[in-house]
Chains A and B, each alone.
Chain A
Amino acid sequence: MSKDKIRWIIFAGLFLFVTLAYTIDIKMVSSPSYEVQKSFDYIESLPEGTILMVSFDHEASSLPEVQPISLVMIRHAFRNNLRIVGLSLFAEGTAIGYRTLNKIAAEYDKIYGVDYVFLGFKPQHIAAILGMGESIYDVFPHDYLGNLTDTIPIMIGIENYDNIEMVISITDGDRAVQWIEYAGPRYDQKVMTGLTAAMITSYDPYLSSGQLFSVVGGLKGAAEYENLYGVPGKGNRGMPAQTAAHLYLIVMIIIGNIIYFRNRKRQGRSS
């Protein structure tokens, strides 16, 4: 059989396996990891009216993985009557952030400008992070809709990080690293992140050194958070398919290794 045909069979198998697992309604039980529990407990412990800064630092391509995280965390914040200052330090995250906030705000009857605001995008992210430590009004003179920032009810008195309880960076890359490195030591700002699974190991050193408060990682992290929140969403929905895909890949790796060692043995004999 040609290599192309083998490739097609593997892809077709994965497609069928994942699709089948996705269409079957299976409830999977998973206990929350320490980091997800810590994130949830912290948000849960905050008094009403506390200001959270949510930064949408990701591209559209990572939406399937990071959006379930941002959805459940923002829902949790709005349910507990926390207020949100949204922004983006990644150009592609701008419209996504605005739409996500509006969508969830509508579910909880939250009012733009009072319960939440979206400041928009700012280029030169390091300068923006450092600048907000001095004055958010200087870095974002206007919000995404063009309103003067210092006249928006939620922003009155919110001058810098002193008035922000936590920065939550929803990211698919290293943008949260800059939040940790520049907002953390200099302005003593707590940083939490929701990120793609591929980035989890990159953030481990910041977690273990205490520079990063907590992490909600990947679709699995979203599913765990949804379980704690009590309302299953896309994270939980994706777990059976995720498990099926992993099982499929494990089987493929085992088969691949068996074929490899068998071929090597044959070549050894023939030579």
Chain B
Amino acid sequence: MDIGVIIAGILTLAIYTFLYKDNPIYRAAESLLIGLAMGYVLVIYWQTAFMDRIFSPLLNESDWWVLIPLILGLLMFSRFSRKYSWLSRIPIALMIGAGAGVAIPAMLYARTLKQISASVMPLITESGGFNFEALVVIVGLLSTLTYFYFSREHKGIIGKVAKLGTYFLMLFFGATFGYTVMSRMSTFIGRIDFLLSDFLHIIK
């Protein structure tokens, strides 16, 4: 059997010992997982960010422009000095400025304008029929928004509409919870598959 499969099988069982109670075997496996994941990500970032984007252009192609992002990146470490920590504001300001400039128009379009236009659907279809889905969407949207409207006390008609909004919220949370359970079960089934087929060879 492949040594990697044996190690993975033992570590899987070690992680599941947590179901009994917290123990040193579980903690060792957990630390190994975190350490390996961090090490892997660090190596990937070192290669793709530092080597490919900074050192290689600088040393092989004499591209001096890469010194600018390199210096800006190094300025971030000035946070460790009380005297020079103000220098870190320069790259942070640049990052926030550029990030906001790129993100705001994209998010405004995708998360606000497109969502508004998708929410406003005609109640009567082209064929003359009644669009029940549109009614559900508009009632759900307005009642949920009313629930989050805190400038007036939730009494009377506002209270009733807000109450209806909570039912829509509960439907959403229920669906999300159901999908999350499904997701976690899939991960568990994946491990069972590995243990029974690759590790123990009980099933093919």
Contacts and interface: CB of A to CB of B under 8 A. Distances in A.
Interface string B171-204: 0100110011111111111111100100000110
Given A92-B37, A198-B179, A64 B186 contact: yes
B68 to A, nearest CB: 15
Contacts of A61: 187
Interface centre among B179, B183, B185, B203 (most CB of A within 10 A): B185
Contacts of B192: 18-19, 22, 241
Interface in A198-249: 198-201, 205-206, 208-211, 217-220, 234, 237-238, 241-242, 245-246, 249
B25 interface: no
B1 interface: no
Contacts of A120: 48
B118 interface: yes
25 contacts: A19-B192, A22-B192, A22-B193, A23-B203, A91-B40, A91-B45, A121-B48, A180-B110, A182-B102, A182-B106, A185-B109, A186-B106, A196-B183, A197-B180, A197-B182, A198-B179, A198-B184, A201-B179, A205-B118, A209-B118, A211-B114, A218-B182, A238-B186, A241-B189, A245-B185
A60 B191 CA distance: 12
Given A60-B37, A181-B111, 4 more contacts: A22-B189, A121-B48, A185-B106, A218-B183
Contact of B110 (A23, A126, A185, A241): A185
Contact of B49 (A123, A201, A210): A123
Contacts of B37: 60, 92
A208 B119 CA distance: 9
Interface centre among B109, B115, B189 (most CB of A within 10 A): B189
Contact of A23 (B44, B172, B202): B202
B189 A219 contact: yes
A98 to B, nearest CB: 12
Contact of A8 (B20, B102, B175): B20
B83 interface: no
Provide the main secondary structure of the chain B interface. Answer: helix
Given A18-B192, A182-B106, A209 B114 contact: yes
B170 interface: no
A182 B110 CA distance: 9
B19 interface: yes
Interface of B: 19-21, 37, 40-41, 44-45, 48-49, 52, 102-103, 106-107, 109-111, 114-115, 117-118, 172, 175-176, 179-193, 196, 202-203
Contact of A201 (B20, B172, B184, B188): B172
B106 A64 contact: no
Contacts of A245: 185, 188-189
A79 interface: no
